[in-house]
Amino acid sequence: MKERFRSYFIRNNVQYRYEGKEYLINITDCFVFPQSYSALLTRFSEYRDVPLVNVCDIGGGTTDCFKMENSIANISSSFSLKIGTIHLFNSIAQEALARGYYLTEFQIQQIILGKQPVFDEQGISQMIGEETERFTDKLISSIVEHGLELRLNPTVFVGGGSILLKQYIEKTKIGYSEVIEDPSYANAKGFELLAKQKLLKR
């Protein structure tokens, strides 16, 4: 899969326009790295001396996890759960409809984050809080069932879903955890560091 993904991007005569200027380039090589690993690199100095770190990337459709052992990603420990925030949004929307209300995804997100985008006379915020807590508990249990020890080892959560669920993750009975809250740039910064390391080894 990695080689297929890499080969997809390597091509000649790629034309595009950027800020009104035309470009014609050849892509001669491509580096492929796990997304959550690249985000963790932005905190690398904090975990460099930690023997084992769990890394969990909570996305919309899946949650992807692996272990970092002595600062090296153990790819054989990686797994993907078909559990993401889309499933949470759907369950909340269905429960709201059962009560006669239509909530947008934006409203659901805002309420999960502790904001109040709706008039709340029928316990909607409470329902969303309870659904989100159940979802987070189920997700953490599934991660543990797949072999990650979350009580004894530190866990770094990345991805937009992790930021959304931060306050609920912190309520669960796990050990030390950190949520990387820079989704727009954490992966890009990490990919840049990895690419530079690769190029220096040549």
For residue 169, what are the CA distances in angstroms to 28, 53, 96, 114, 151?
A: 42, 17, 23, 14, 13
Tell me the mean pLDDT in the region 9-28: 91
**Residues 107-158 pLDDT 10s:** 999 999 988 877 766 689 999 999 999 999 999 999 999 999 999 999 999 8
Residue 88 has pLDDT above 80, yes or no: yes
Number of domains present in the structure of the chain? 2
List the domain range (segments joined by +) for residue 21: 1-30
Report how far Cα 44 is from the mean position of its chain's Cα atoms: 17
Lowest-pLDDT range, 64-68, 130-134, 193-197? 193-197
Residue 144 shares a structural domain with residue 194: yes
* pLDDT confidence of residue 122: 66
CATH number at residue 71: 3.30.420.40
Residue 67 shares a structural domain with residue 136: yes
What is the token pair recorded at 150?
Answer: 């979350």
Residue 102 shares a structural domain with residue 202: yes
Residue 85 shares a structural domain with residue 15: no
Residue 104 shares a structural domain with residue 154: yes
- Neighbouring CB atoms inside 10 A of 92's CB total 23
| 17 membership: H or E segment, kind and range | strand 11-18
Provide the whole-model pTM.
0.77
